[in-house]
Amino acid sequence: MDAGKKDWMSLSDRYIMHTYGRSPVTLVEGKGCRVFDSDGKMYLDFVAGIAVCNLGHTHPEVAEAVCRQAQKLVHVSNLYYTVPQIELAELLIEHSFADRVFFCNSGAEANEAAIKLARKYSRDRFGEGRHEIICLKDSFHGRTLATLSATGQEKFHKGFEPLVDGFRHVPAGDLEAMKQAITEKTCAILMEPIQGEGGVVLFSPDYLPAVRKLCDEHRLLLILDEVQVGMGRTGTLFAHEHYGIKPDMMTLAKALANGLPLGALLAREEVAISFTPGTHASTFGGNPVACAAATVVLKTLLEGDFLSNCQGTGRYFKQGLEDLAARYPSLIKEVRGLGLILGLELKVEGADFVTNLLHKGFLINCTQGNILRFTPPLIVTKAEIDLLLGALDEECRKRL
């Protein structure tokens, strides 16, 4: 490939800020669950841009929609109506709890919008004084200063103090601690249905319904951050559907446009009306090209047996990981996850697993130091999963 003629990694190190610990590979092409580097080597991708490319790389219908829209209209500002944005909004509202949607560019922006709307709604409805939001420890909500403050992991806070006031953190899964944290200043609870960056942490089946009930009792807003686990990742369109509840607000991004920058805040009408012209905005939010791609993504996820197939593939993958855990109890502590967001908690550091699997042609991710996180495209096959499981088995076996 022509891209291999330059030392791209050295150029990156010279010109780009060092905010990422990158793997030593320059990726130039992708198709389905496979990506190729500048030397032509193929990798099976079990990261998918961290739960972004849910339909795989260069999905033909998404690519066609992008090209077609780019030849017609790329950007005109949200001072005007555009058809792709309206079509996508209609689809999202028709297949969710919500009545209104606000479009932005990322998950952090969507969560930032949710924080602002929660405060504005509470002020409009109850007057001054209610502005605090309860969040969970080990959560992750973004890198802006407000979403960083909402994030319940101190390692992300260091160096950026003082943080934004108005956030209280309680242990994840501890309903009693959440009850104790509610005061006359509380306006909302912000949480992920599954903590992705926190290590693929699932809560007990009754936790989210109990949080919903708590919000109803205290007239608080429930905001669900589905940036990583929404858009089919768990085998339902949205993760909260597994728990039989409806939030007041929900944030989406990552997989919404299969790799193009697009975020969304969905809300009930009663809450959404607190955003009026001039209260919030985004220059590029909901641009026609990203919305055209997202419309194809959403329609594809809703077609036929796509989501049920995702559930089946996820069960197959999880069973394979559990078989590994049974064979190597001295190395593997636990398997957890839902659908195709799965975590393998190791009793050792996970960095070497990531590096060695990369050499073998697999892209995987490690979070919290010892948890291998798998978020492949939702189109991943059992045969591709078997290849990864075989490579993981080899890595475990050589450590005994």
Residues identified as active-site: 140, 225, 254
Q: Identify the CA nearest to 249 among candidates 120, 60, 349.
A: 120
Cβ 49 vs Cβ 375: under 8 Å: no
| Assigned token pair, 400 | 């005994």
